[in-house]
């Protein structure tokens, strides 16, 4: 019987990186259909956001010099020159000693460099200062006043609080400046990035085509999930598991059904998958049993190459990585837990590389609940559930063999145990990565 020539996870990743040049094309789509798609190139803004000075408050546009030192006991008195209507240019500029009402988001007059919140102001209407002529009649000659200084052409605004230059104001280009790269190649377009594209007038975006990933489930004992298995048979878990993982990661899964452990059937199916897809995933048939056909199929191609057979990872050791027509093929373990781990560790990373994504993975600090022994020589991925005890987050291992699917459904995440470490100690702080 052939034995595995085991490589480390790091070595397997290095082999993949150096062995494949397969690339994906692109397509232009409306931004309303672009959620979770991957940008094919850098996108630059061709305008400033905002394109005008705008107020962040309801209040009055002012020159900060006019309200310097303003207080409740000694307010600044400014002449109101009108108001700014939303979506409109101010009716005029303001001079020193003047102000203009401006709503939140409204455009500031050119000379205004600050905005005072309306809560810190008071409007004095000119009519309230007129005196009844009969009751306040004075000698015209001795009390004559200049009509221009006595009468107010507009309301007077009392300002009770100073503002600094730029306070309560968003400057031109403060959010986005023309020429800024707002979306980078390989960025996933979340709703927030789509909002940015809309703000700079981009309604169509060029994105990577979704990688088409073939899923082939193998095994004489495997039956469809809707069938009632006979003794010795099992339902097809991995097709649905892998399909869902691919959808979650923004890929396009293509199922080729369940193939029995028969060489010609598998070979014909793999031929179709290579022609129609960017990657082939075969579930089962990756060990060294007499009926496991994956190795034979890959080796049957003139340019077929077995790059890896056996990875020092627990679970997931009997993994195959092959090559044909510059495309990658993975022979994944048939056990669901092992299949999931290999997908997370290797398959997903390769797919992200096809679309120039660089996923940032952040772990959660937790404290191990028990001592856990791990055999040295294999990188282990230990499923754990999290529980808060007081102010401490505790990681509790979810035990189960690689043939059990329920292990991951019960787990919140996993802990990576280095191949050179013999285990984890109770109370040790570990990083838990979400599944």
Contact 258, 218 (CB under 8 A): yes
Cα–Cα nearest to 82, from 64, 46, 65, 106: 106
Q: Does domain 9-18+216-354 have CATH number 3.40.50.620?
A: no
Beta bridge partners of 387: 394
Across the strands, what pairs with 124?
Answer: 156
Q: What is the CATH number of domain 54-170?
A: 2.170.190.11
Mean pLDDT, rounded, for 253-259: 96
Q: How many other C-beta atoms are found inside a 10 Å radius of the C-beta of residue 152?
A: 16
- C-alpha triplet 346, 349, 354: angle, nearest 5°: 125
How far apart CA 137 and CA 406 sit, in angstroms, is 96
Average pLDDT of span 8-27: 94
The tokens describing 101, both together, are 């009402």
pLDDT, average across residues 232-236? 91
Centroid of chain to Cα 87: 32
Q: Say if residue 50 is preceded by a cis peptide, omega within 30 of 0.
A: yes
Tell the residue number behind the tokens 């990756």, with chain if given: 286
**Per-residue pLDDT averaged across 222-248, rounded?**
94
Asked if the 26-49+180-208 domain carries CATH number 3.90.226.10, the reply is no
Q: What is the pLDDT of residues 37-74, one digit of tens each?
A: 999 999 999 999 999 999 999 999 999 999 999 999 99
Mean pLDDT value across residues 264-272 = 96
**C-beta of residue 157 within 8 angstroms of C-beta of residue 123:** yes
Q: What value does the mean pLDDT of the chain take?
A: 89
> In 10 A of CB 66, how many CB atoms?
22
C-alpha 305 chain-centroid distance: 36
Region for 381 from its dihedrals, namely left if φ exceeds 0, alpha if ψ lies in -120 to 50, beta otherwise: beta
Q: Is 224 helix (H, G, I), strand (E, B) or coil?
A: coil
pLDDT in tens, 185-216: 999 999 999 999 999 999 999 999 999 999 99
Phi-psi region of 46 (alpha: psi -120 to 50; beta: other; left: phi over 0): alpha
Confidence of residue 402 (pLDDT cuts 50, 70, 90): low
Query: Which residues make beta-bridge pairs with 217?
Result: 258, 283
What CA–CA distance (Å, rounded) separates 401 from 350?
26
Beta-carbon contacts of 111 under 8 Å, excluding residues fewer than 6 positions away, are 63, 93, 94, 95
Give the Cα separation of 421 and 122 in Å (integer). Answer: 71
400 falls in which pLDDT band (50, 70, 90)?
A: confident
CA distance 389 to 141: 88
How much of the chain, in percent, has pLDDT values that exceed 90?
79
Query: Would you list the domain boundaries of the chain?
Result: 9-18+216-354, 26-49+180-208, 54-170, 364-434
Q: Which helix (H) or strand (E) holds 382?
A: strand 379-389
HSE-CB for 433 with a 13 A CA cutoff = 13
Unique residue bearing structure tokens 């057979």: 309
Q: Are 383 and 344 in contact (CB under 8 A)?
A: no
Q: Over 50: is that where the pLDDT of 289 sits?
A: yes
- Residues 6+ away with beta carbon under 8 Å from 200: 45, 46, 47, 49, 176, 182
Per-residue HEC secondary structure of 297-308 comes to HHHCCCCCEEEE
Question: pLDDT tens-digit profile of 119-141?
Answer: 999 998 644 444 444 444 444 44
Cβ contact 159:120 at 8 Å: yes
Q: Which of these, 98, 118, 112, 125, lies nearest to 161 by C-alpha position? A: 118
Cα separation, 380 vs 317, whole angstroms: 10
Q: Residue 435: what pLDDT?
A: 84
Q: What angle do CA 364, 412, 372 make, to 5 degrees?
A: 80
CATH of 364-434, picked from 2.40.340.10, 3.40.50.1100, 3.30.2320.50, 2.60.40.1730, is 2.40.340.10
- The CA distance from 71 to 160, in Å, is 4
Residue pair 395/414 in contact (Cβ under 8 Å)? The answer is: no
- 54-170 and 9-18+216-354 share a CATH fold: no
Are residues 16 and 159 in contact, defined by beta-carbon separation less than 8 angstroms?
Answer: no
């Amino acid at each position: 019987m052939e034995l595995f020539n085991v490589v480390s996870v790091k070595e397997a990743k290095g082999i993949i990186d150096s062995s494949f040049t397969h690339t994906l094309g692109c397509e232009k789509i409306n931004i309303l259909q672009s959620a979770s798609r991957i940008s094919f190139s850098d996108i630059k803004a061709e305008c400033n956001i905002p394109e005008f000075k705008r107020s962040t408050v309801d209040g009055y546009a002012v020159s900060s010099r006019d309200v310097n030192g303003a207080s409740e006991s000694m307010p600044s008195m400014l002449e109101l020159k009108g108001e700014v209507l939303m979506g409109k240019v101010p009716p005029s500029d303001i001079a020193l000693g003047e102000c203009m009402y401006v709503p939140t988001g409204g455009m500031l007059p050119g000379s205004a460099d600050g905005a005072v919140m309306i809560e810190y102001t008071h409007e004095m209407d000119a009519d309230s200062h007129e005196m009844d002529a009969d009751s306040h009649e004075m000698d015209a000659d001795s009390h004559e006043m200049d009509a221009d200084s006595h009468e107010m052409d507009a309301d007077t605004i009392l300002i009770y609080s100073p503002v600094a230059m730029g306070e309560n104001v968003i400057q031109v280009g403060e959010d986005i400046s023309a020429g800024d790269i707002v979306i980078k190649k390989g960025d996933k377009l979340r709703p927030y990035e789509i909002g940015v594209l809309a703000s700079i007038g981009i309604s169509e975006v060029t994105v990577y085509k979704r990688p088409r990933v073939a899923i082939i489930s193998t095994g004489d004992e495997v039956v469809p999930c809707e069938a009632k298995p006979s003794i010795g048979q099992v339902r097809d878990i991995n097709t649905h598991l892998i399909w869902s993982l691919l959808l979650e990661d923004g890929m396009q899964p293509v199922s080729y059904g369940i193939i029995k452990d028969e060489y010609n059937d598998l070979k014909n199916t793999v031929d179709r998958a290579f022609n129609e897809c960017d990657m082939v995933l075969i579930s089962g048939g990756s060990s060294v049993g007499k009926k496991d056909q994956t190795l034979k199929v890959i080796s049957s191609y003139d340019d077929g190459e077995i790059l890896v057979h056996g990875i020092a990872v627990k679970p997931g050791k009997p993994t195959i990585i092959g090559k044909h027509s510059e495309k990658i093929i993975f022979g994944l373990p048939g056990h669901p837990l092992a299949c999931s781990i290999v997908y997370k560790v290797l398959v997903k990373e390769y797919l992200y590389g096809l679309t120039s994504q660089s996923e940032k993975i952040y772990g959660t600090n937790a404290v191990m609940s028990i001592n856990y022994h791990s055999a040295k020589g294999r990188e282990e991925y230990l499923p754990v559930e999290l529980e808060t005890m007081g102010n401490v987050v505790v990681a509790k291992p979810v035990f189960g063999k690689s043939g059990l699917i329920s292990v991951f459904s019960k787990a919140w995440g996993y802990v990576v145990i280095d191949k050179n470490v013999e285990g984890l100690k109770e109370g040790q702080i570990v990083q838990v990565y979400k599944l």
